[in-house]
Amino acid sequence: MQIEPRANVSVLRAGLAPIIAVLAALVLCSVLIVWAGAPVLESYFLLFKGALGSRFALTETITRSIPLMFTGLAAAIAFRAKFYNIGAEGQLYCGALAATYFGTGLVVLPALLMVPFLMIVGALAGGLILIIPVLLKTHMKVDEVVTTLLLNFIILLLVSFLIEGPWKDPMAMGWPQAASIIDEGVLPLLMSKGRLHAGLLFALAAAFLVWVMMRFTVWGYEIKAVGLNAKAAEFAGIRINSTIIRTAMISGGLAGLAGVSEVAGLKGYLTLDISPGFGYTGIAVAMLAQLHPLAVIPAALFLSAVYVGADAMSRAVAIPTYIADVLVGVSVLCVLISVMLTKFKIRWR
């Protein structure tokens, strides 16, 4: 077997790659549906009906995609620089912690300033927690994958301590949750019905800004150059360490915004379950988007639809909801192959 690079990568092929990967994942996972004794096509139909079939389902899918857009962007930009930040989950909770610390009465500003203020402190918190792994990488050569992963566990335990201890809301009937975000800090709802909140606008704006940065600015150019060939970038005079640190700050900040938007937008207060693994799913979003900031939007919407739809599907036909997680995992593997096939061809000998 020989793997040869293709002379030119067609745009059509590149665009179709993730779609084909998703279809392949759906086909592969149909084995599990058959095992569960359910009809495959009808089950998938129920899945997408549950995600898109009604006004309520559709708003729910969009609402659930907001944190995925942020964490997807966080992974996309970091992976572009080959900085493998797997800690978006922890950074998300750091953003949520900052929003809770400042947003529950410590600072009171008019709503027009309060919401951006919470976003900024949340992004700072998400970025700052990444300082430890990124400096360990640039200065001590400690692999960032393991440190960011381990920090996730540490941060989750810290959140657990805070909301069971000093930050516990005495009005919450004993539930471990923090006090509610003050009214000025709550993200307004976009529609009178449903839970869709203004976090969506921030997520879309973030995707656009990241795209502009990657496409048109020196910073974006440096991030891409470091990711493609760090040695060549260094010869060209790009300072690798500062580029990686900068990338990490932006990545962590984006993940932090996911936490702010969940606390100040969806829930209104911090609990230990604001994220059912959005940080990890964000990696799948980024891979499906082929690390392109704008493509993160449809990728996040799609994976959100899978999760929302899987709930509906498992209620209708007896298939465990974990099918959604399997589908996401298989999609990551499939997209790796399909994207590779756009750039290389395999010759069997």
Partner 1 sequence: MDLIEIFLTTGFWAATIRIVSPLIFATLGELICERAGVLNLGIEGIMTIGAMAGWMWVYQGGDLWTGVMFAALVGGTFGLVHSIFTVYLGLSQHVTGIGVTMFASSLSYFIYRMMLPDATTPPKIIPFQTYPIPGLSELPIVGEAVFTQTPMTYLALLCVPIVWYMLYRTPVGLAVRMAGENPVAVEAQGIDVLAIRTGAVVVGSGLMAVGGAFITMSAFDAFFFGMINGRGWIAIALVVFASWRPGKALLGAVLFAGLEAFQVRAQQVAGASILPYQFYLMLPYLLSIVAMVIMARRARYPKALLVPYRRGERV
Identified binder of partner 1 from the candidate list 32, 78, 115, 210, rule CB under 8 A: 32
Structure tokens at 83: 């900085």
Q: Is 149 in the site for partner 1 (CB under 8 A)?
A: yes
Q: CA-CA distances (angstroms) from residue 215 to 75, 115, 207, 221? A: 17, 28, 12, 7
For residue 111, the one-letter residue type is A
What is the length of the chain?
Answer: 349
Which is nearer to partner 1, 202 or 280 (by Cβ)? 280
For residue 21, the one-letter residue type is A
The residue count for binding partner 1 (CB under 8 A) is 46
Q: Is 229 in the site for partner 1 (CB under 8 A)?
A: no
Which is nearer to partner 1, 3 or 113 (by Cβ)? 3
Q: Is 310 in the site for partner 1 (CB under 8 A)?
A: no
Structure tokens at 120: 């900024």
Q: Is 278 in the site for partner 1 (CB under 8 A)?
A: no
Give SS3 for 231.
helix
Question: How crowded is the C-beta side of 6, counted as CA atoms within 13 Å?
Answer: 14
Neighbours of 240 (CB within 10 A): 16
Identified binder of partner 1 from the candidate list 14, 124, 128, 136, rule CB under 8 A: 136
Structure tokens at 167: 């930050």
Neighbours of 205 (CB within 10 A): 10
Identified binder of partner 1 from the candidate list 63, 91, 100, 147, rule CB under 8 A: 147
Q: How far apart are CA 247 and CA 226, in angstroms?
A: 10
DSSP 130: T
In angstroms, what is the minimal distance from the CB of 305 to partner 1? Answer: 17
Q: Is 150 in the site for partner 1 (CB under 8 A)?
A: yes
In angstroms, what is the minimal distance from the CB of 296 to partner 1? Answer: 16
Pick the piece of the chain touching partner 1 (CB under 8 A) from 167-175, 217-225, 255-263, 279-287.
279-287
Q: Is 145 in the site for partner 1 (CB under 8 A)?
A: yes
Longest Cα separation, the chain: 71
In angstroms, what is the minimal distance from the CB of 322 to partner 1? Answer: 4
Which is nearer to partner 1, 105 or 320 (by Cβ)? 320
Structure tokens at 150: 């381990």
Q: Is 20 in the site for partner 1 (CB under 8 A)?
A: no
**271 and 177 Cβ atoms separated by less than 8 Å:** yes
Q: Is 36 in the site for partner 1 (CB under 8 A)?
A: yes
In angstroms, what is the minimal distance from the CB of 287 to partner 1? Answer: 6
Which is nearer to partner 1, 97 or 181 (by Cβ)? 97
Structure tokens at 141: 């050569």
Q: Is 84 in the site for partner 1 (CB under 8 A)?
A: yes
Q: Is 228 in the site for partner 1 (CB under 8 A)?
A: no
Place of tokens 């996972």: 29
Binding positions for partner 1, 154-213, rule CB under 8 A: 154, 157-158, 160-161, 164-165
Pick the piece of the chain touching partner 1 (CB under 8 A) from 112-120, 177-185, 263-271, 282-290.
282-290
Q: CA-CA distances (angstroms) from residue 69 to 34, 174, 224, 259, 300? A: 32, 33, 20, 12, 5
Residues 6+ apart with CB under 8 A from 15: none
Q: How far apart are CA 25 and CA 73, in angstroms?
A: 22
What does the binding site for partner 1 look like in residue numbers (CB under 8 A)?
A: 1-3, 32, 35-36, 79, 84, 86, 136, 140-143, 145-147, 149-151, 153-154, 157-158, 160-161, 164-165, 280, 283-284, 287, 318, 320, 322-323, 325-326, 328-330, 332-333, 336-337, 340
